[in-house]
């Protein structure tokens, strides 16, 4: 599986996933493929602690039964949702990528958003579509995330899962109208400290022809994660129309888990709010900038 996803021809048991070119997006693809077997799985963040093929295989086996049965000591057991304190809703660090988007937003407001048009075919029930969106907002913390203004270092905060993201529905005539609505939406500014950081608008051209405008900030969703969310949205909507249980299996991990797995636990005295492996800057490094004193050559100097 690794050799199929990673840019390598062969993989050994002791090879490191990230040394071979793996990243957070490929981690999700690995676990998507593992999930096809229907076996119980640990959270995807386990790969950050079990980076080699052999170590990950042991962790996956451990998720199917008692840790000792798979040769994994209890201390290495993969955490489950029940291990977390109830109602964990405090702020948590941003990733280096998010820090870059926040900086870009500060330098050029509005530059950090993207807008996509998705074609929807078939009859659309607005109430059920809104219900599907509500379920996804409740399920995915990143859809409820804001970045408090003035926080140093920057942090992100998940808002309560009772929030409702209203979808705008409108009937339009012709593709020109769709272009106009898309252009107008793209000009709407998003402030990273204010919710929501994603907006949805359904434009109906005909009873069975619709365009979904998705306008979001890069700081909460990249192209791959957005594609996964849209796939899940259509799946949940289809289940609702059939009267089935709307939500798929519970999440094994979310973005918050991924971020916290890369930071020292709170209270250890080592949490700097910086990404793992980043050295803290000495206090004098943050002193006001003093321009150098320019010296002119003495008269008569060669």
302 residues of the chain, pLDDT tens digit each: 777 778 777 888 888 887 887 766 677 678 777 877 766 777 676 777 788 888 888 888 887 655 444 344 433 333 333 334 434 568 989 988 899 999 988 888 888 899 999 999 999 999 999 999 999 999 899 999 999 988 889 999 999 988 999 999 999 999 999 999 999 999 999 999 999 999 999 999 999 999 999 999 999 987 777 888 888 999 999 999 999 988 766 666 677 776 776 665 544 443 444 444 333 333 333 334 344 444 444 445 44
And the tokens for 185?
Answer: 């939406």
**CATH fold of 92-257:** Chloramphenicol Acetyltransferase (3.30.559)
Angstrom distance (rounded) from CA 141 to CA 160: 9
Read off the pTM.
Answer: 0.61
Per-residue DSSP letter, 22: -
Domain-wise residue ranges, the chain? 2-79, 92-257
Asked whether the beta carbons of 185 and 115 are under 8 A apart, the reply is yes
**CATH fold of 2-79:** 1.10.1200
And the tokens for 31?
Answer: 């676990």
């Amino acid at each position: 599986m690794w050799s199929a996803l990673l840019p390598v021809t062969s993989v050994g048991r002791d090879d490191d996933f990230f040394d071979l070119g793996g990243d957070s997006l490929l981690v999700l693809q690995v676990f998507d493929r593992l999930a096809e077997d229907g076996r119980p799985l640990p959270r995807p963040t386990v790969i950050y602690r079990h980076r080699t093929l052999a170590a990950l295989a042991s962790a996956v086996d451990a998720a199917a039964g008692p840790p000792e049965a798979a040769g994994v000591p209890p201390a290495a057991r993969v955490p489950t949702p029940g291990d977390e304190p109830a109602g964990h809703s405090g702020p948590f660090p941003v990733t280096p990528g998010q820090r870059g988007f926040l900086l870009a937003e500060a330098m050029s407001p509005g530059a950090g958003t993207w807008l996509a048009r998705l074609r929807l075919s078939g009859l659309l029930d607005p109430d059920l579509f809104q219900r599907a969106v509500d379920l996804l907002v409740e399920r995915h913390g990143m859809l409820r995330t804001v970045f408090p203004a003035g926080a140093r270092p920057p942090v992100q905060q998940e808002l309560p899962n009772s929030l409702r993201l209203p979808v705008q529905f409108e009937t339009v005539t012709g593709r020109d109208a769709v272009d106009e609505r898309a252009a107008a939406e793209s000009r709407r500014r998003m402030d990273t400290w204010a919710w929501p950081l994603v907006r949805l608008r359904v434009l109906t051209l005909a009873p069975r022809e619709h365009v979904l405008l998705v306008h979001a900030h890069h700081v909460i969703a990249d192209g791959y994660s957005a594609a996964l969310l849209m796939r899940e949205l259509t799946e949940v909507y289809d289940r609702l129309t059939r009267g089935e249980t709307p939500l798929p299996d519970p999440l094994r991990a979310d973005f918050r888990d991924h971020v916290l797995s890369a930071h020292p636990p709170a209270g250890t005295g080592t949490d700097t709010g910086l990404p793992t492996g980043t050295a803290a800057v000495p206090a004098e490094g943050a002193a006001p900038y003093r321009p150098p004193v320019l010296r002119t050559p003495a008269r008569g100097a060669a």
